[in-house]
């Protein structure tokens, strides 16, 4: 079997669901169930014996050692993390605790387990660490996209904690020989995305008649990857990636935020037109920018294509349509995740921001 950490979160849950849709190899899923972890994401597996869920912390060394000894996984895939930049600005402590200390403890437990394996399973074993393009820092408009040899220049508490974890993974390979793989991926979007992140926040706010908050001028650029494509890339790297290597994963979809906002609004105008006949873009509101906001991320994903033959299968147009449709089809999921904890966060992050102003029309 494989051990997945953080498998009740957005990407981890998509990964577990896709994995078990394509393979009968069981999954041991270790997740702390923070505000971002949601067992409802895994409800299709509720009575599936191939999925074993354990609530716990990657930083709990005794728990992780016990699980490794009991279940003897052939690979560990580390998705568990605190993942939201804005939360890291308000409170970096949890990010250091999970992303840095937690990763270190997980690496230590995995190393002890791996070293004690017999030669054949030891040789086949892999530790795959899921990281982000944000560790590379911010690009100027004319800069080439990030490749795997870019320096790590993280700018937010979140990206600094992820960069630290990437360094730890590298060091556990270099020093102890642990067979690691690291993926650095761009912004994911798709089903099960918690509505604190841009795309799901836009959809749920639009439907609720609330402001669509655009930080600053909205011209910050991100590369967007449909989550199912990220999952297929991780499977590919696990299967055939070269030990010790990094693989950038991206969608070849660089877009300014304001374009994303207008695309979501147009899709909603088409799929769920407002009763009063007004366009969703009238809800767009420019709000105060994020402190230290990285201006541009862009991923050069040619290494994974060249060496492992992976390319994303969704275009942004096909992926965003599926995503908007998924949120329209799953109002109960949305209602459940908008719990008390979610409402508290919205109050912390967006309190005092202006009500919707008439939007500038985007070309």
Active site residue 71: no
| CB-based contact 99:131 (threshold 8 Å) | no
Member of 17, 28, 32, 127 binding ligand NAD (CB under 6 A)? 32
33 vs 207 by CB, closer to ligand NAD = 33
| CB-based contact 113:68 (threshold 8 Å) | yes
73 vs 218 by CB, closer to ligand TYD = 218
Per partner kind, with CB cut-offs from 5 to 8 A, the member of ligand NAD, ligand TYD, none near residue 146 is none
37 vs 241 by CB, closer to ligand NAD = 37
158 vs 280 by CB, closer to ligand NAD = 158
- Beta-ladder partners of 188: 225
Size of the site for ligand TYD (CB under 6 A): 12
201 binds ligand TYD (CB under 6 A): yes
Per partner kind, with CB cut-offs from 5 to 8 A, the member of ligand TYD, ligand NAD, none near residue 73 is none
**Structure token pair of residue 71:** 């279940």
Residue span binding ligand TYD (CB under 6 A) among the ranges 116-124, 167-175, 215-223, 353-361: 215-223
Tell me which of 31, 134, 196, 300 is the catalytic residue: 134
Distance (Å, whole) CA 295 – CA 283? 24
**Structure token pair of residue 110:** 């995995």
57 binds ligand NAD (CB under 6 A): yes
- Beta-ladder partners of 135: none
Active site residue 223: no
179 binds ligand TYD (CB under 6 A): no
312 binds ligand NAD (CB under 6 A): no
Largest CA-CA distance found in the chain, in angstroms, rounded: 68
10 binds ligand NAD (CB under 6 A): yes
- Contacts (CB under 6 A) with ligand NAD, residues 64-93: 79-83
Burial class (CB in 10 A: 0-12, 13-18, 19+), 215: middle
Active site residue 270: no
Tell me which of 31, 133, 166, 300 is the catalytic residue: 133
- Contacts (CB under 6 A) with ligand NAD, residues 131-190: 132, 162, 185, 187-188
3 vs 163 by CB, closer to ligand TYD = 163
11 vs 75 by CB, closer to ligand TYD = 11
Site string for ligand TYD, 56-85 (x = CB under 6 A): -----------------------------x
Residue span binding ligand NAD (CB under 6 A) among the ranges 19-27, 33-41, 135-143, 258-266: 33-41
107 vs 233 by CB, closer to ligand TYD = 233
Q: Can you give the binding site for ligand NAD, defined by CB under 6 A? A: 5-6, 8-12, 30-34, 36-37, 57-59, 79-83, 98, 102, 130, 132, 162, 185, 187-188, 194
Q: Can you give the binding site for ligand TYD, defined by CB under 6 A? A: 85, 187, 197-198, 201, 213-215, 220, 222, 257, 290
């Amino acid at each position: 079997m494989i051990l997945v950490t953080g498998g009740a979160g957005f990407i981890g849950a998509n990964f577990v669901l896709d994995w078990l849709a394509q393979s009968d190899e069981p999954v041991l899923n270790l997740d702390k169930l923070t505000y971002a972890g949601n067992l409802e994401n895994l409800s299709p597996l509720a009575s599936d014996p191939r999925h074993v869920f354990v609530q716990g912390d990657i930083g709990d060394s005794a728990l992780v050692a016990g699980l490794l000894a009991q279940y003897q996984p052939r690979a560990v895939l580390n998705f568990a993390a605190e993942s939201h930049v804005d939360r890291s600005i308000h409170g970096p402590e949890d990010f250091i605790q999970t992303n840095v200390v937690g990763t270190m403890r997980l690496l230590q437990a995995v190393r002890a387990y791996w070293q004690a394996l017999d030669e054949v399973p030891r040789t086949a074993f892999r530790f795959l660490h899921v990281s982000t393009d944000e560790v590379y820092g911010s690009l100027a408009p004319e800069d080439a996209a990030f490749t795997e040899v870019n320096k790590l220049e993280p700018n937010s508490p979140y990206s600094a904690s992820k960069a630290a974890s990437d360094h730890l993974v590298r060091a556990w390979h270099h020093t102890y020989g642990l067979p690691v793989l690291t993926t650095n991926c761009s912004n994911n979007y798709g089903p099960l995305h918690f509505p604190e992140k841009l795309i799901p926040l836009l959809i749920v706010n639009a439907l609720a008649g609330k402001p669509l908050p655009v930080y600053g001028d909205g011209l910050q650029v991100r590369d967007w990857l449909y989550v199912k494509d990220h999952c297929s890339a991780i499977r590919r790297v696990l299967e055939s990636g070269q030990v010790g290597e990094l693989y950038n994963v991206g969608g070849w979809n660089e877009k300014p935020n304001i374009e994303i906002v207008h695309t979501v609004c147009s899709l909603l105008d088409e799929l769920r037109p407002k009763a009063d006949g007004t366009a969703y873009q009238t809800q767009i509101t420019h709000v105060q920018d994020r402190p230290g906001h990285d201006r541009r991320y862009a991923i050069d994903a040619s290494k994974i294509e060249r060496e492992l033959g992976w390319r994303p299968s969704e275009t942004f147009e096909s992926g965003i349509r599926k995503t908007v449709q998924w949120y329209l089809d799953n109002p109960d999921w949305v209602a459940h995740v908008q719990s008390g904890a979610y409402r508290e966060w919205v109050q912390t992050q967006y309190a005092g921001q202006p009500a919707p102003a008439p939007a500038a029309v985007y070309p």
